[in-house]
A = this chain, B = another copy of it.
Amino acid sequence: MSIKLNDKYVKNFITDTEIEAYREKVVETDKMLRNKTGKGSDFLGWMTASCAYDKDEYARLQAAAEKIKKSCDVFIVIGIGGSYLGSRAVIELVKSPRYNSMKKDTPDIYFSGCNISATDMRELLALCEGRDVCINVISKSGTTTEPSIAFRIFRQYLEDRYGKEGSKDRIFITTDRARGVLKPLATREGYETFTVPDDMGGRYSVLSPVGLLPIAVAGIDIMELLSGCEEARVALSTADIDKNDAYRYAVIRNILLEKGKGIEVLVGYEPSFQMFSEWWKQLFGESEGKDGKGIYPASVIFSTDLHSLGQYIQEGQRQLFETVLSLESADDDLSVPDDAENIDGLNFVSGKSLYEVNQTAMRATILAHVDGGVPNLVLEAKDRTAKTVGYLIYFFWISCAMSGYLLGVNPFDQPGVEAYKKNMFALLGKPGYEAMAEELNAKLQ
């Protein structure tokens, strides 16, 4: 198995009996999930479709990625939330957080439409100067404020530069197959389109065209990614909490929450885990944070943040637990050089590999934090290849579905995301929101 749960470092905090008490509930919930009888069951497409993606569209997507690689130096991906987090997470984890700075034969990839910053937009436009540009707009409805504004700006930019005709081969749209405003526009203008599936929410969409087109442009083997997902689907199809580590993880985090651990800190020992942690935060935060419930998902990169949040985790308010992502093999490695003078006193690690030192730091930290009263779960990942990452994605998906149901919420909706949007429309003067605007403006005085 590509991902294994090591739960020995929670044994001081929870008992086997407490885990056992969930056994039946997990079996029932698994049934509900697979029979699609639970809340939000219209959004379970990721359980099967993600691992076995539509063959024709897949071939077309690969071809589009090749075309993009050939025709541009800068690829701008326009989307917000699940429309960008998944692909950015996979690119940075499998390739590098410094993907754009490294030598490569694939285009630089920048993400836009995921904020309303003028500074960010100006910088992106400056980065396009003198270099060929393609864009991928990812939006189901085509009306979400942030990506819509970015699309207005970049569409105008491309048409100014390449003309209407020249732009049409540079604009790729990932959207609803029928509804929404982008499909008709694309048809009329001749933009190539890909499908945002109906039956999966944004946070479950990275292995659909939403994530796969940018991932393929980055030169990552998307077949490998999908095969890892399929491997996980098979491996995690049992409802037995002794055999299904994703379900066991879901159970343990619910028990820890019941015991007052309201924060889960996802820990990586490689900088490349940072954006993956952001993807994970959306997955769990958006799935479980409702009805006044849920664990707050946070993240750190160690040993970096051992010199920052480390103090808090070791000795602060005992309201948290950690889930550690351990890489069980080194892809890159380097040795610590010896120093004949031993100025820094570190010759006891001379010749040791950095990977080994890093893994030792991990084990040392787990023991220290457990001693300090922080339950630690360890997810042991074989490596950070596309295949393992595909496995890890499905692992977290199914775990999150189970965890949300055990918590008693609908893990597949996100009703709270609308609140700020409505207020924003009112304050921006959208027609129809006049009464609301008046009320809000009074509150702002």
Contacts and interface: CB of A to CB of B under 8 A. Distances in A.
Nearest to A319: B262
A348 to B, nearest CB: 5
A57 interface: no
A354 B116 contact: yes
A202 interface: yes
Interface in A282-324: 282, 285-286, 288-298, 301-304, 306-320
Given A117-B269, A269-B116, A271-B120, A414 B360 contact: no
Interface in A41-93: 80-82, 85
Interface string A309-351: 1111111111110000000001111101101000111101100
A290 B315 contact: yes
Nearest to A296: B263
Contact of A357 (B311, B346, B368, B428): B428
Contact of A116 (B120, B156, B358, B371): B358
A303 B146 contact: yes
Nearest to A279: B308
Interface in A261-290: 262-263, 269-272, 278, 281-282, 285-286, 288-290
Contact of A420 (B103, B118, B368, B431): B368
Given A102-B126, A118-B333, A149 B357 contact: yes
A96 to B, nearest CB: 6
A115 interface: yes
Interface in A132-182: 142-143, 145-146, 148-149, 151-153, 156, 181-182
A346 to B, nearest CB: 5
Contacts of A80: 303-304, 307
B416 A310 contact: yes
Contact of A416 (B291, B315, B414, B426): B315
A100 interface: yes
A122 B332 contact: yes
A336 B122 CA distance: 13
A50 to B, nearest CB: 20
Interface in A416-445: 416-417, 419-424, 426-431, 440, 443-444
Given A332-B118, A344-B151, A365-B420, A285 B308 contact: yes
B354 A118 contact: yes
A220 interface: no
A357 B360 CA distance: 48
Contacts of A421: 364
Contact of A311 (B101, B290, B319, B331): B290
A339 B355 CA distance: 53
Contact of A100 (B101, B116, B285, B332): B101
A117 B273 CA distance: 11
A419 B368 contact: yes
A309 B286 CA distance: 6
A119 interface: yes
A353 interface: yes
Interface string A104-124: 000000000011111111110
A404 to B, nearest CB: 12
B316 A423 contact: no
A128 B117 CA distance: 32
A144 B310 CA distance: 15
Nearest to A357: B116
A431 B347 CA distance: 10
A1 interface: no
Contact of A348 (B153, B431, B443): B431
A372 interface: yes
Given A116-B357, A365-B420, 8 more contacts: A115-B301, A121-B334, A149-B336, A290-B311, A306-B417, A311-B415, A315-B415, A348-B428
22 contacts: A81-B307, A85-B308, A115-B269, A115-B271, A115-B302, A118-B330, A119-B270, A119-B331, A153-B336, A281-B308, A285-B309, A286-B309, A289-B311, A295-B317, A297-B312, A303-B420, A311-B415, A314-B420, A348-B430, A364-B423, A368-B420, A371-B419
